[in-house]
Amino acid sequence: MAEEVTYADLKFMTLRQTKKQQEEGGIRDKASPLVSHRWRLAAAILGIFCVALLGASGALSFKVLQVHRIARRQNENLTQQREMVENLLTTLSVLQDRNLNLSETVQQLSNKGSNSHRCSPCPERWIQHGENCYYLSTKWNSWEESKVQCATLNSRLLKIESKEELAFVLESNQANYAFWIGLIRRTAGSPWLWEDNSTFPSDLFKIPEDGSSNYPICVSIQGGNLIASDCLGYRFCMCEKVVSPA
């Protein structure tokens, strides 16, 4: 009797365990779609995040490339500007040296003139010769601008009126600098005229032609030589005026 009860109990327990396993299996089966849905949702979100991250990375790379190009362009412009400044400084240094040498030459000539005329009737830095005072400009100008500069000094561009004056002028200008004088030819084939429109005497000196077709053409003195060139070129100039009465 005891054995039958035990068997029945075992059978009941077995059935009960089987039912419980079936119920748990059903729960797992019911939970499985939910878990699968959650995994798919998480994968989709992760995919979207990855795509967004790739897009942001691409946009950032493009911005970095743009900044790099702009920086390189600015660096190239800065290099060009630096080279231009260096060239300008070099040119300025050369011009300053030339101006210093010219000033020293003018001073020497002034001293030479003052040795024979201690009480010179000419202004300071002007050179007296005969009845005239001469000034060697230290500024570069075109012929027309030089004409104006001499006028502001109550003088005119140099007008050579004799062989003796020509010899003095050529001797005074032994430095390798070009100085405008008041001689001009405004059109091809027209006569050479002084600044005051008086005719140039051809027997005074010969004007070497430069073969240029640019007109008007003006005359300058350089290193003791006479040169004809475009009036728009830049030179120093030589001014002249009559000695002031004592």
The SS3 of residue 180 is: strand
pLDDT of residue 102: 67
- In CATH terms, the superfamily for domain 124-242 is Mannose-Binding Protein A, subunit A (3.10.100.10)
The pLDDT of residue 132 is: 92
Alpha-carbon distance of 40 to 31, in angstroms, equals 14
Q: Give domain limits for the chain.
A: 1-116, 124-242
Residue 13's pLDDT is: 60
What's the confidence (pLDDT) of residue 171? 82
Beta strands in the chain (DSSP E): 127-129, 132-136, 156-157, 178-185, 193-194, 217-222, 225-230, 236-242
- DSSP β-bridge partners for residue 236: 179
3-state secondary structure of 11: helix
Q: Residues in the chain with pLDDT < 70?
A: 1-35, 87, 89, 91-120, 174-175, 210-214, 245-246
Structure tokens belonging to residue 76: 């190239």
Max distance between CA atoms of the chain, in angstroms, equals: 169
Instruction: Of 159, 161, 164, 162, give the one whose Cα is nearest residue 221.
Output: 159
What is the reported pTM?
A: 0.52
In angstroms, the CA 199 to CA 57 distance is 84
